[in-house]
């Protein structure tokens, strides 16, 4: 396993990109409303990224095993879609009560940050609100565990502790990852980790931590478009992600 540690200077660049990243997600979150086409969100994201002098990391990115490059800047995953929903395929219009995950990868001065949020569209029922709240809390606890002296397994243990206290499930086979020079770098950061197991966390590691939580079972399936990952049982799923740098003293959330 080769983990690329980032220098303080690189982390500073990622912090600048990450601030911009958070601003863009904030603007997009504010646009979410019933009747809006996901294409409009995609176009606005492209405009804002360009305006900041940056580039979209997912657009044209071809992950290992994919048959074609990813065709958009955003992944927009609605309700039973867990991750990698494509905004500019078919007519995807947001409806009242939807829960909408928006995932963005941003390249600032050659370095990539990765962050996602899940937004309520209109009036969302109690279960959907609870799902989002738990997923956000799972990310928060995962980030708290991401500090030097701990291990990769401690992050997942903290995340799964939050989720296992609820009726919800972590989406199986989907994990966080190292990030920076590439969208996906080592190490893998599983959401269901075991305390004390896995790679030791050291200053200079930059990790995308990203719990994905389903209302029903954790089983997943891939759609015919080759990218969109859905819950197998059709239940809803939420997703929050931050890019986090491990430092000597603890960590810095780069995408806040």
Query: In the complex, which residues of this chain contact Mg ion (CB under 5 A)?
Result: 103, 114, 116, 208, 241
Both ends of the chain: CA-CA distance in Å? 29
Q: In the numeric block, which tokens belong to residue 9? A: 């200077």
Comparison of 42 and 241: residue with beta carbon closer to Mg ion: 241
Comparison of 94 and 116: residue with beta carbon closer to Mg ion: 116
User: From CA 36, how far away is CA 59, in angstroms rounded?
Assistant: 22
User: From CA 20, how far away is CA 52, in angstroms rounded?
Assistant: 8
Q: Work out how close the CB of 220 gets to Mg ion at its nearest, in angstroms, rounded to a whole number.
A: 15
Q: Work out how close the CB of 125 gets to Mg ion at its nearest, in angstroms, rounded to a whole number.
A: 26
Residue 216 and residue 169 in contact, taking contact as beta carbons nearer than 8 Å: yes
User: From CA 238, how far away is CA 119, in angstroms rounded?
Assistant: 9
Residue 174 and residue 200 in contact, taking contact as beta carbons nearer than 8 Å: no
Comparison of 137 and 208: residue with beta carbon closer to Mg ion: 208
Comparison of 95 and 182: residue with beta carbon closer to Mg ion: 182
Residue position matching structure tokens 């015919």: 224
Please, what is the angle between helix 126-144 and helix 152-164, to 10°? 150
Comparison of 116 and 138: residue with beta carbon closer to Mg ion: 116
Q: Work out how close the CB of 241 gets to Mg ion at its nearest, in angstroms, rounded to a whole number.
A: 5
């Amino acid at each position: 396993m080769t983990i690329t540690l980032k220098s303080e200077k690189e982390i500073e660049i990622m912090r600048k990109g990450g601030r911009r990243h958070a601003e863009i997600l904030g603007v997009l979150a504010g646009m979410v409303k019933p009747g809006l086409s996901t294409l409009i969100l995609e176009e606005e994201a492209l405009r804002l990224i360009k305006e900041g002098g940056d580039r979209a990391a997912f657009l044209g990115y071809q992950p290992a095993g994919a048959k074609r490059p990813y065709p958009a800047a955003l992944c927009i995953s609605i309700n039973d879609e867990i991750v990698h929903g494509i905004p500019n395929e078919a007519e995807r219009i947001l409806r009242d009560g939807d829960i909408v995950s928006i995932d963005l990868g941003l390249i600032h001065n050659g370095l990539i940050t990765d962050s996602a949020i899940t937004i309520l569209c209109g009036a969302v029922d109690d279960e959907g609100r609870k799902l989002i709240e738990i997923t956000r809390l799972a990310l928060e606890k995962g980030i708290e565990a991401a500090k030097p002296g701990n291990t990769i397994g401690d992050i997942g243990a903290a995340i799964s502790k939050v989720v296992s206290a609820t009726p919800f499930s972590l989406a199986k086979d989907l994990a966080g990852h190292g990030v920076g020079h590439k969208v996906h770098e080592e190490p893998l950061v599983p959401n269901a980790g075991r305390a004390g197991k896995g790679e030791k966390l050291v200053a200079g590691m930059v990790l995308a931590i990203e719990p994905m939580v389903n209302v029903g079972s954790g089983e997943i399936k891939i759609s015919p478009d080759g990218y969109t990952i859905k819950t197998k049982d059709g239940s809803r799923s939420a997703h929050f992600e931050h890019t986090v740098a491990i430092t000597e003293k603890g960590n810095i959330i780069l995408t806040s």
